[in-house]
A and B are shown apart, each in its own frame.
Chain A
Amino acid sequence: MGNASKAGGLNYASQSKVTFYVADMFTGLKALAMTQIPYHNWNGINAKSFSDYFKTITDAAGRNYGNRYAELFEDMEYDLGRGWFVNLTDGFYVSEAGSVKNLSVKITPESQKDGIFLKKLTSAAYVNTNNKTVSDSVAAGAKIGTRKVKAYVSPFTVSMDGVKTTMGQFNGSGAISIGIASPDYGYVVGDVVSSTEGYYQEYGITSEAGGYYHPQLIENSNYSKTLNKTGFNTIIPSGRIVDNNNPTTNYYYPLQINQINNESGEKQFRGKTDSDFLGCTGIRKSTTATETALNFFAGAPELVLTDKSSGKRPLSLRTNRDDFSVEPRTGLSRIVSQAEDFFYALSKDKETSPYVTVTNSAKNAIYSFSINLLVSPEQENVNYKTSKITLEFIFSIQALQPTFTWKTSTPTSPGRWLVFDDAEVRIYGGGYATGGYTTNPTDSVTVSGESIYRKVTINN
């Protein structure tokens, strides 16, 4: 059995190593996040500098991406596997009698250490920075956010595509990807605090009703009367991210009204046959999951629950904002911080720290570790040689910069990554150590020839 990469043709190997440059996942998303700039407004914003960026990067045919945002998202997500999920491998196959074909596989960590890393990476367990035993149960872990012990949860998950062909259905024969899975999606219900505010709406709520709701509760005919009785004037689709160190503190990302209003009238469809009710494809007719995710986590501001009253509503969801000369907090900024926290925690956790290499510290830190996986046929009685794949993760905090700008903490506000401080994009890939980079996330290599996103080494 072997695994293969599409980059530069299909390479088949029974053993291979994929080096994944974690910072590229986020700097690539920063490039895509700049499509969201029309929904933002702050003192001194230069929206044109962000839209001009897309005129400077080109596709494989040499056409620039200026005003071709849908194509950029599609090229990134569908062709390159570089979006909200990033492909680490492209597929698993068996080579038999000179032909390469799909088959159903099972994946096993090579050693206990590899299993522990997978478990923590996929958010099945907390990572402990203080060498204290933390329960594997995330729910139980909710009790742990004290001053003595900090426990962080991964913002990532790992995914595996199945493959369906005319030859059949093959479990796990597709790509292995790493994705951002900390958010969930639902609704924010409340009263808009200021109906004349064009950006960053805030919502008045009460302690009995309003706030974030699960769609399963909202999308129920029996609940519609209850919703009407609340008297709230707004219900908006919203993302939510839990604080990575305190599962009882959440951050909310309701779409802005200027995003909801952005539907142009095209791509409409009717509800039931002959229905008068029309639907549309949300936010700029997004055709990719990555764009949808960034609508919530780059196009909308972060809100937090406060006891600030609004009219007759005693509580409110307010922008988590301390400086009106820069962007409001966003979900992407929150996720980058959570990834940084997670890798730092891996380097301190007693189960993983012996296997994590750390170079430099703080905003110059570089973390690396490897996970070995064995891939074998799902059917026990099939006699194919087991394939081994090594996934090496390298996360250079330095390589996040200057694409992201670190805004240091103040006495009243914690530090945070700025997404929209400027239109700079640098994808360092393997150039994280030498300084080589490219500004185009659809490129294969940096200007000095290092692979970006991932480097595949076969028969290592």
Chain B
Amino acid sequence: MIGDITRNLVEQFSDNFGRGNNISYAAGGVRYSDNGAGAPPIVGIITAGEKLSKSYSPAKLISVNNSDGDFSSEGKMFAAYSNTIKIYDDSGNKQTSSLLYQRFFFPGKTTLPLQTNNSMSVNMNKSTTRLSLRK
């Protein structure tokens, strides 16, 4: 069942990896032991899901850039399903409920990687525009 929901997310909504969106996670903050193929062998106690996710960089700061008051784009769509979530829209296909497909607006900022020449990178191409959702 949970796979059905994630498949619906990919097929029905934008702003997810399965739709080919290139969601950029800006650097910054601590890395994780499941950080990319170059990470050292995992010797700690982490969950199976983290071991399976080892080839991806951590999803840190998510870029967001919205038109004022437009809640239907940008941000990041997530699937949320549990057999304990009540379904508001339970007429017919319960998999259509808005509770199962939620859009979140995360901290989106440019970080400043220190360059080898000791200057900070402020290249706009790598930057994110700060969240602007004010109505």
Contact = CB atoms under 8 A, between A and B. Distances in A.
Contacts of A240: 32
Contacts of B1: 228, 233
Contacts of A164: 129
A288 B133 contact: yes
Contacts of B93: 276
A260 B122 contact: no
A156 B28 CA distance: 8
Contacts of A242: 30-33
A160 B122 contact: yes
A413 interface: no
Contact of A292 (B12, B28, B104): B104
A337 interface: no
A177 B1 CA distance: 42
Contact of A107 (B64, B102, B112, B127): B112
B31 A247 contact: yes
Interface string B112-131: 11100011101110010111
Interface in B46-103: 46-50, 52-53, 56, 58-62, 64, 71-72, 75-86, 88-89, 92-93, 95-99, 101-103
A118 interface: yes
Nearest to A272: B12
A290 B107 contact: yes
Interface string B32-44: 1111001110111
Given A124-B114, A237-B80, A207 B18 contact: no
Contact of B49 (A123, A161, A179, A213): A213
Interface residues of A, number: 125
A116 B85 CA distance: 48
A154 B114 CA distance: 15
Contact of A187 (B25, B79, B108, B130): B79
B55 to A, nearest CB: 8
Contacts of A230: 2
Interface in A211-253: 211-221, 223-230, 232-237, 240, 242, 244, 246-250, 252
Contacts of A213: 49-50, 52-53
A157 B18 contact: no
Given A161-B110, A224-B4, A228-B1, A255 B80 contact: yes
Interface in A84-121: 84-85, 104-109, 115, 118-119
B107 A108 contact: no
A207 B104 contact: no
A2 B77 CA distance: 40
Contact of B122 (A162, A182, A271): A162
Contact of B110 (A160, A205, A277): A160
A237 B102 contact: yes
A123 B84 contact: no
A10 interface: no
Given A177-B109, A280-B102, A289-B105, A115 B118 contact: yes
Contacts of B5: 235
A282 B29 contact: no
Contacts of A315: 47
A444 interface: no
A286 to B, nearest CB: 6
Contacts of B76: 185, 215
Given A159-B111, A217-B52, A279 B6 contact: no
A143 B78 CA distance: 33
Contacts of A218: 6, 79
Interface in A161-183: 161-162, 164, 169-172, 174, 177, 179-183
Given A107-B120, A161-B109, A287-B133, A184 B58 contact: yes
Contacts of A234: 2, 81-84
A171 B127 contact: yes
Interface stretch (A29-37, A40-48, A134-142, A399-407): A134-142
* B40, B89, B98 pick with most chain A CB within 10 angstroms: B98
Interface stretch (A262-270, A325-333, A350-358): A262-270
8 closest A-B pairs by CB: A248-B44, A211-B47, A181-B29, A172-B122, A157-B28, A271-B12, A227-B3, A214-B53
22 contacts: A74-B134, A77-B131, A104-B122, A107-B119, A119-B114, A156-B29, A157-B27, A160-B127, A162-B110, A164-B129, A216-B17, A217-B49, A219-B79, A220-B6, A221-B7, A228-B4, A237-B80, A260-B99, A261-B85, A286-B104, A288-B131, A305-B45
